[in-house]
Amino acid sequence: MDLTKAILERRSIRAFRPDPIPREKIEEILRLSIRAPSGINLQPWEFVIVTGEEKERLSRTLIKAYREKKISCGPDAVRPLPKTFGKRGAKTLEGMRPFFEEMKVSPEQYINEGSCQFYGAPVVILICLDDAFSKSRLLDIGALLGYLVLAAHESGLGTCPIGLITAYEEEIKDLLNIPDNKRVVIGLALGHPDWESPINRFKSDREDLDNMVRWV
């Protein structure tokens, strides 16, 4: 597939079919993803792949934790956001609203509980980082994630990066026996998109470059 076409076509999928994905295909996507650049080629990423009944157990655990702690999706800001960024988030949620109305679901419940269930995807990829690394290595994880979603799209699969689950990192580590010195940075839902679901018709737009670039 043409790279430009893949970049323009890719979208976050929020409803998946349950069809299992062969291990060989997952490994093929990961091999392409780890071609991403990293500082002095440290390749600091580690993966935990969760499928089958373990994925269902993970979803149940996260739903339980969410209903107890009520930590929701948000911008994870350390101080009030400038209005520019807040408006972008509000515009996205407003764009999704007609699809939620068509589905007759609560946006907040669908997004939060959907994130905890990885929107029904059969495969969950948890990307971890050893706590020996500084926060600057999160830049490498970001580069890897970009490669990962494009490699999956090129292979005919859909993805949705899910950050909410990191609020329940303790529960994830306990369930999956992830060592204490490994940080769960982000999760990724992977699978075949359910194109019959209205929410998958939604595609977020992007700001004009004039609103985010300053030439010097």
Report d(CA 125, CA 148) in Å as an integer: 10
Instruction: Report pTM.
Output: 0.95
State the chain's mean pLDDT as an integer: 95
- The pLDDT assigned to 74 comes to 81
Give the residue ranges of the chain where pLDDT is below 50. none
Residues 6+ positions from 107 with CB-CB distance below 8 Å: 93, 96, 97, 100
Question: Do residues 62 and 165 lie in contact, with contact meaning Cβ atoms separated by under 8 Å?
Answer: yes
pLDDT attached to residue 1: 66
Whether 162 and 188 have beta carbons less than 8 Å apart is answered as yes
Domains, the chain, with CATH or none: 3-72+84-202 (3.40.109.10)
pLDDT of residue 100: 95
Write out pLDDT tens, residues 77-135.
Answer: 778 888 889 899 899 999 999 999 999 999 999 999 999 999 999 999 999 999 999 99
Q: What separation, in Å, do the N-terminal and C-terminal C-alpha atoms of the chain show?
A: 35
Fill in the DSSP letter of residue 197. Answer: S
pLDDT of residue 126: 98
Predicted pLDDT of residue 76? 79
Under DSSP, the state recorded for 137 is: G
Q: What are the residues facing 162 on neighbouring strands?
A: 187
Question: Rounded to 5 degrees, what are φ and ψ at 203?
Answer: -140, 120
Tokens matching residue 125: 């990829």
Name residues whose C-beta falls within 8 Å of residue 46's C-beta, 6 or more positions apart in sequence.
Answer: 127, 128, 129, 130, 182
